[in-house]
Amino acid sequence: MDPKGFFVYWINQSKETTFLDVATIRDTRTGKYAKLPKHPKVRNVFNLDFPDSNHLAKTLTIVSGPDMVNLTYHNFFASKEKVTQVINRCICVVADNHMLVHLYSRYPCFLLSGSLFFFSIYKMFPADKKRVESALAAAQLPKGKYDTIKPDVFTETAFRSFMTHLCPRPEIYEIFTSYSTKPTMTKENFTKFLNEKQRDSRLNEELFPRLRQDQIKALIDKYEPLSNNSNRGLISPEGLLFYLMGPETTVVMQDSLAKCQDMTQPIPHYFIKSSHNTYLTAGQFSGVSSPEMYRQCLLAGCRCLELDCWKGKPPDEEPIITHGFTMTTEILFKVDVIEAIAESAFKTSQYPVILSFENHVDSVKQQEKMANYCKTIFGDALLTEPLDKYPLKPGQQIPSPSELLGKILIKNKKGSHEKPAQNKKTAAAAADQTAAAATNAQAPNATSQDEANPAATTPENQDENEKPQAGQEVTAYEAMSSIVNYIQPNKFISFENARKKNKSYVISSFVETKGEAMIAKSAVEFVEYNKRQMSRIYPKGTRMDSSNYNPQPFWNVGCQMVALNYQTMDFPMQLNMALFEFNGRTGYLLKHDVMRRNDKKFDPFCDRIDTVVASTLTIKIYSGQFLSDKNVKTGVEVEVIGLPGDPKKKYRTKWSTTPNAINPVWNEEPFVFEKILLPELASLRIVVHEENGKFVGHRIIPLDAIQSGFHHICLRSESNMPLTLPALFVYIEVKDYIPAAFKKLHPNLHRPLMPLTSLHQQLVQKKLKRRKKARQRRFKLIKLQLMQHQTQEAPHLKPSLKPLLHPRRPKQARSLNRLLKPKKNQALSLVQTQSLHLIRKRKPVQLQNLLKRLLLRPFPLQQLQPLSLLDQVTHLSHRRAAKVTLQHVMCCTHHSFPFVNTLWIKALWQG
């Protein structure tokens, strides 16, 4: 990064920080003059007097701040370029370690370079001074106003003792006593706690086996503070507390934070992190434009940036970036913006960057400048020609993010490459048109431009029924058109027209109001449109304060580029930042299967999705830690954000009984969100407020990334920055949704139908060993005939299919008996008769072979299409927490019970 300059500090050999006189050079970041040292000794050390010293390559600027606008610059100057590069890499490794920010530790880090004064501790915990003094005294640490604590006294053990007395945790002892009435918990009870509370009930034990005894012993040794207890395999309440604050109990699955999604799908199959009017730092009408916003957005993982390009003024005639017809400041297209993008484009993510040009430059010469700047500064990173495998043809999809690694794509109107003689005439018409747009912008009843005029193309940031805000976009001349390929904006006409043309490289932009109207009127068609090509949503022009709209409805219909104002950290922006933290902060998130497949249609307003198992989320808020710097009452609000059919109720705890911001406890019933239709598209939001309504902290987590169990959730600020101390202790459980009617009729449906464990299998084998010989001779002929029939019709099937549905479990057999039982006045089919007979008689071998035969042909009596059910079960079998249970299929099929188990086994077997 280029330096902000102004101050330079130099550390000499005596390691004393000395302020030096400075000289000035031009700073490429701001176009102003920065400062460099004047001192002869310093200039000699850094070779500043040599013409080839390359000063800027030796500078390093560390930018920090609470958001993307209010930034602080820390500038450094090195003697060699290599030193700057090494420091830069080391800092980026720490800053980009997104795993660390999701870990919670109640023990903040102290830099004990010297004596620690008491008032430093009080400043960290200002909510209750008396409690801090009492905790220091209980930990046998000095507590006087001017006392100091030496590093050899303030050890980790002393600090833990201090924190334990400062923030007691009665809720932890309550949980502990529910599993052990003694002062310590045995390894067996601890194992029971881990299996019942900390393990996801949906996990398949074959794919995700339970913790081994040596692993549980390792956890006890790691977290139990007393060696006597750990040697005997015991854990105390303090050890349980330390375990619940460790990395093993993070609320977010660590695997989902890393790049874990398929990046080989076409780009329209992804949500893309997008910015609107990227250059602005404040409102849309007045404020400062800054190239630093481009750096910050790219470093935050943003993959789509917007550039409002306008004609530069004489004598330089350099194109500028600004918000037209407003009082916002101007920045240079080349020196400020393009160079800033080239510096930071691929520091956080290597996946393609899309530059969305809103081109108002009506000069052929200046458009040629813009194209040349992009080619020379971006170099090979700029994609100027389509890939050979993906020509620009109707019906042909565009490349995937993995095939465009390190590439920059230009989104700009593509002209018709008119002859030079016509260019002058068109340029003059465009100039007249821009002037007319400026005049019409002030008129109350401005009319749209004549569509017959080739230069009067519809601007991107203009609704059909709205007056232009910043003038019309002009014709793209040959230079700019030549660098546009896979992202070609075009005016949207209709879904039917887009379906017929089927041009995946054409993108349409919609103002939020028009997008909402299209969702309300044609949601299913909008989803189908977004399967083939891309759409970009941007805020309406009346949001002069740079506020944002809710992006969730547009994600629900598959819109790829939901562009937001990154300078405003409101709720929509918090939701956007939280969602794109996952998949390695690549800026690309793969859409759900129902939003990508051409053979499926998805309605976001539906109340049931055939191929998806709905989820039920249960959360209990136990306590908070260090929520506020004041001694006030606090409360927690919980909600789920997802599809329109998801639970909309917001749950709120009562205010804490006493003013206590250090360790408030809420003893209330759990909050239950039933039937979350599409868990992969839903998020859990938790917000903490003071009694006076002041915001304390929040956290937004995608539902599909939540781990069940007890967790400490580290809260975030309004700008989504991790807070040092504030946290919530909660219990979260995510289960598959079971309708209340099925729960009442079939209370045993929660029992899993899955392969037997080895111990259970041995017991069953011993129990059936005596019956096996007698049964074998009796049914030998029938078994042989069934196997021959199977081999003739499907020779590729395995002769011995491991029975996933074990008919010798009495409760499961009774459940299947009830399922197969027909309604009144309804005759039994042959399949139902055979199945009922085999289930009632509990004939496992015959039932197994019958199911094999049923695999060979479809059934006309099935009320639901087999493909839908097959997709349902295939999805289950590949899920992270897949556990095949009978309620999965029951909730999906309703009345197709005679054929459920057949397709179910088939899907699992093939998967």
Q: Which of 106-115, 407-416, 635-644 has the lowest mean pLDDT?
A: 106-115
Work out the end-to-end distance of the chain between its first and last CA atoms, rounded to an integer number of angstroms. Answer: 49
358 in a labelled binding site = yes
- pLDDT above 90: percentage of residues in the chain: 46
Average pLDDT over every residue of 125-150 = 82
If DSSP codes are grouped into helix, strand and coil, which group holds residue 722?
A: strand
Give pLDDT, residue 699: 96
Is residue 95 a part of any domain in this protein?
A: yes
Same structural domain for residues 319 and 365?
yes
pTM summary value: 0.75
pLDDT of residue 893: 36
156: pLDDT strictly greater than 90:
no
Q: Is 646 annotated as a binding residue?
A: no
Give the model's confidence band at 471: pLDDT under 50 very low, under 70 low, under 90 confident, else very high.
low
* The 3-state secondary structure of 149-169, one letter per residue: ECCCCCCHHHHHHHHHHHCCC
Query: Would you state the pLDDT for residue 77?
Result: 76
pLDDT at residue 139, rounded to an integer: 87
- pLDDT at residue number 725: 87
Q: Other C-beta atoms within 10 Å of 67: how many?
A: 17
CA distance 14 to 445: 72
Please tell me the distance from the alpha carbon of residue 679 to that of residue 703, in angstroms, as a whole number. Answer: 6
Kind of pairing between the strands at 286-287 and 327-328 = parallel
pLDDT of residue 873: 43
Among residues 693, 716, 739, the one where a domain terminates is: 739
Q: Tens digits of per-residue pLDDT, 692-742?
A: 999 999 999 999 999 999 999 999 998 888 888 899 999 999 998 887 766
- 323 catalytic per annotation: yes
> By CB neighbour count within 10 A (0-12 exposed, 13-18 middle, 19+ buried), where does 495 fall?
middle
Instruction: Give the DSSP H/E element, type plus range, for residue 728.
Output: strand 722-736
* Residues whose CB is less than 8 angstroms from the CB of residue 765 and which lie 6 or more positions away in sequence, other chains included: none
| CA neighbor of 881 nearest in space, from 677, 682, 593, 680 | 680
Average pLDDT for 849-854? 47
| Range with top average pLDDT, 84-88, 371-375, 612-616 | 371-375
**Does residue 407 share a domain with residue 301?**
yes
Whether residue 275 is found in the same domain as residue 372: yes
Q: Exposed, middle or buried: residue 203 (CB in 10 Å: 0-12, 13-18, 19+)? A: middle
Q: Give the relative orientation of helices 866-878 and 900-910 as an angle to the nearest 10 degrees.
A: 50
pLDDT of residue 507 exceeding 70: yes
Query: Mean pLDDT lowest for which of 193-207, 299-313, 665-679, 707-721?
Result: 193-207
CATH number for the domain spanning 77: value is 2.30.29.240
Q: According to the per-residue pLDDT averaged within each range, which of 52-61, 155-164, 804-813 is highest? A: 155-164
Residue 286 is assigned to a structural domain of this protein:
yes
Relative orientation angle of helices 780-793 and 844-854, to the nearest 10 degrees:
20
Which of 71-80, 213-222, 822-831 has the largest mean confidence? 213-222
Per-residue pLDDT, averaged over 858-863, amounts to 34
Cα-based angle 782, 786, 788 (whole degrees, multiple of 5): 115
Q: Is residue 100 part of a domain?
A: yes
What CA–CA distance (Å, rounded) separates 884 from 877? 7
pLDDT at 40 over 80: no
CB 225 within 8 A of CB 242: yes
CA angle 38, 42, 43 (to 5 degrees): 65
Cβ–Cβ under 8 Å, residues 700 and 685: yes
Nearest to 556 by CA among 623, 624, 605, 596: 605
* pLDDT of the residue at 869: 43
pLDDT on residue 820: 46
Both 297 and 223 in a single domain?
no
Say yes or no to pLDDT of 754 above 70. no
277 inside domain: yes
One domain, residues 357 and 476? yes
CATH number of the CATH domain containing 720: 2.60.40.150
Q: With contact defined as beta carbons under 8 Å apart, do 847 and 807 qualify?
A: yes
Q: What is the pLDDT of residue 26?
A: 39
Q: Is the pLDDT of residue 368 over 90?
A: yes
Can you point out the beta strands (E) in 581-682? 588-590, 615-625, 634-641, 651-652, 671-676
Annotated catalytic residue, options 276, 360, 746, 888: 276
CB count within 10 Å of CB 856 equals 14
In a domain, 775, yes or no: no
For residue 315, is the peptide bond before it cis, meaning its omega torsion is within 30 degrees of 0? Answer: yes
- In whole angstroms, give the CA distance from residue 621 to residue 635: 10
Instruction: Assess whether 112 and 194 both reside in one domain.
Output: no
Nearest-angstrom CA–CA distance, 677 and 365: 54
Q: Which of these is catalytic: 269, 323, 592, 875?
A: 323
Q: Note the pLDDT tens digit of each residue in 680-690.
A: 999 999 999 99
Q: What mean pLDDT is predicted for residues 854-872?
A: 38
Locate 900 and state its tokens: 């459920």
**What sign does the dihedral 829-830-835-837 (CA atoms) show?**
positive
pLDDT tens digit string along 535-559?
999 999 999 999 999 999 999 999 9
Check residue 83 and give its pLDDT: 82
- Report d(CA 552, CA 512) in Å as an integer: 12
CATH value at residue 198? 1.10.238.10
Contact of 732 with 699, CB cutoff 8 Å: no
Question: Residue 194 gets which letter from DSSP?
Answer: I
Given a contact cutoff of 8 angstroms between Cβ atoms, the answer to whether 498 and 530 are in contact is: no
Task: Encode burial over 575-601: b for 16+ CB neighbours within 10 A, e otherwise.
Answer: bbbbbbbbbbbbbbbbbbbbbbeeebe
Do residue 112 and residue 191 come from a single domain?
no
Please choose, from the candidates 840, 843, 837, the residue with its C-alpha nearest in 3D space to the C-alpha of residue 814: 840
Looking at residue 145, its pLDDT comes to: 67
Residue 791 has a pLDDT of 40
| Domain edge (last residue) among 595, 624, 656 | 595
Q: Which SS3 state, helix, strand or coil, does residue 736 take?
A: strand
Tens-digit pLDDT profile for residues 170-194: 999 999 999 999 999 999 999 999 9
Position with higher pLDDT, 130 vs 740: 130
Range of the domain at 662: 615-739
- pLDDT for the residue numbered 58: 76
> Which domain-ending residue is among 249, 283, 309?
249
Identify the CATH number of the domain in which residue 366 sits: 3.20.20.190
Q: Which whole number is the average pLDDT over 763-781?
A: 56
Same domain? For 621 and 588 the reply is no
Please list the alpha-helical segments (H only) found in 355-481.
Answer: 364-378, 420-440, 478-481
Query: Has 875 been annotated as catalytic?
Result: no
At 115, list the tokens. Answer: 């004596």
CA–CA gap between residue 190 and residue 129 (Å, rounded): 37
Give the Cβ contact number of residue 697 at 10 Å. Answer: 23
**492 and 629 assigned to the same domain:** no
Residue type, 676: I
591 lies in the same domain as 637: no
3 state SS of 686: strand
Residue 385, marked binder:
no
Any known ligand binding at 277? yes
Residue pair 679/704 in contact by the 8 Å Cβ criterion: yes
CA distance 664 to 699: 18
| Residue written as token pair 């957005």 | 297
H-helix or E-strand containing 93? Answer: helix 81-95
Listed range (41-50, 434-443, 822-831) with the worst mean pLDDT? 434-443
Q: According to the model, what pLDDT value does residue 35 have?
A: 52
Maximum distance among all Cα pairs of the chain, rounded to whole angstroms? 105
**666 assigned to some structural domain:** yes
The mean-pLDDT minimum among 30-44, 196-210, 536-550 falls in 30-44
Can you tell me which residue has the tokens 């609320």?
251
**Measured distance CA(533)–CA(268) in Å, rounded:** 6
- Give the ranges where 200-264 is alpha helix by DSSP (H): 213-223, 227-231, 237-244, 254-257
Q: Is the Cβ–Cβ distance between 213 and 195 less than 8 Å?
A: no
Q: Does some domain include residue 123?
A: yes
Checking if the pLDDT of 118 tops 90, the result is no
Tally of domains in the chain: 4
Within a 10 A sphere around the Cβ of 76, how many other Cβ atoms?
A: 18
Percent of the chain scoring above 70 in pLDDT:
66
Average pLDDT, the chain: 76
CB atoms within 10 A of CB 694: 12
- Report which residue type is found at 535: S
Chain centroid offset of residue 807 CA: 42
Q: Are residues 648 and 692 in the same domain?
A: yes
Q: In this structure, how many other beta carbons lie within 10 angstroms of the beta carbon of residue 118?
A: 19
User: What was the pLDDT predicted at 37?
Assistant: 60
CA 654 to CA 83: how far, in whole Å?
Answer: 55
**Which of 759, 721, 752 lies closest to 736 in space, CA to CA?**
752
With cut-offs at 50, 70 and 90, classify the pLDDT of residue 865. very low
Q: Is residue 87 part of a domain?
A: yes
According to DSSP, the residues that pair with 359 across neighbouring strands are: 309
- Report pLDDT for 275: 97
Question: Tokens 């990334």 — which residue?
Answer: 705
Q: Which of 447-451, 733-737, 782-786 has the lowest mean pLDDT?
A: 447-451
Q: What is the CA radius of gyration of the chain?
A: 33
- pLDDT for 747 equals 55
Same domain, residue pair 379 and 405: yes
Please check whether residue 412 is in contact with residue 476, taking contact to mean a CB–CB distance below 8 angstroms.
yes
